[in-house]
Every structure is written in structure tokens, then in C-alpha cells.
Amino acid sequence: MAKLSKMNDYYAQFESMTQATYINRMKQEQTNIRKQITRAHMVRETSFVQSAYAIVEALAFLLITGLLILRYEPFYESLFFSFIVSFLVLYMLFLIKDLDNPFEYDKYCETGNEISLKALHDVMARVELKNKDAG
């Protein structure tokens, strides 16, 4: 947000070079960027209640333990179905945890299950290219 606010210095320099409507449009886009950053920050910081995680984890543990303790016949079919149910429960548990923070990147590396930053990387590449051409 601080870098975004520093753009005001550039807008002040542009005022003598262009029409006020262009500066107004740029400031509106700056406001839109602020809104998007704030919205992304709120999504990132809002998490599920920790007690809800504890309940789901306990339920998953009890269900999987119960399926393993029960003796169904025939054995291999029951083992197969127990594995399928256990896999689905654990998958849903990890999926909920991952969806809780869709902006969790490892040192700017994106994985397939995070929100794509391709548009941001494309804009940054275009800006760097223009800076090289201008410089």
C-alpha cells in the first residue's frame, strides 16, 4: 500500500503535462487496486475457527480408526472400501485447509492449487521491458 501511495508523486508531476481527466482516471485505477489489495488481504487473513479444525480432524481420526477396527467379510473388499472412505475424508480435510488460505505461496513460487499470479507477472514483465527501452 505504501508503494501504491507513492504513485501520487508521479501523478503530481503528470498534472502539468496532461489533462486532468487522465490523472483522474489513473487515480480511480489506483483506488481500484487498493480495493483489490484490501480484499485479497482480508481473504488471506480470515481463517476458519481452530475449534472447527479440531472437530473435523477428530472426526476423521475416529472414522478411519473405526473402519480399521471393524471386521467385515470378505476382508479384501472391506479393506478396499475402508481405504476409499479414508482417502476421501483425508482429502477433504486437506482441501479445506488449503482453501482456507489461497494466497499461501512459498517464496513467490506458485503451485497448482494457489491463485494464479500470471496477470501480475505479465504486467511486471511489460513494465520492466518498457523501462529497459526507455533507459
Q: Give the separation between CA 100 and CA 8, rounded to whole angstroms.
A: 34
The residues that bridge with 106 in the sheet, in sequence order, are 109
- Average of pLDDT values for 90-111? 69
Q: Where residue 112 falls among pLDDT bands split at 50, 70, 90? A: low
45 vs 16, higher pLDDT = 16
pTM > 0.75: yes or no: no
- Sequence-distant (6+) residues with CB within 8 A of 77 are none
- Which sign, positive or negative, has the C-alpha torsion 61, 66, 69, 73? negative
pLDDT at 43: 74
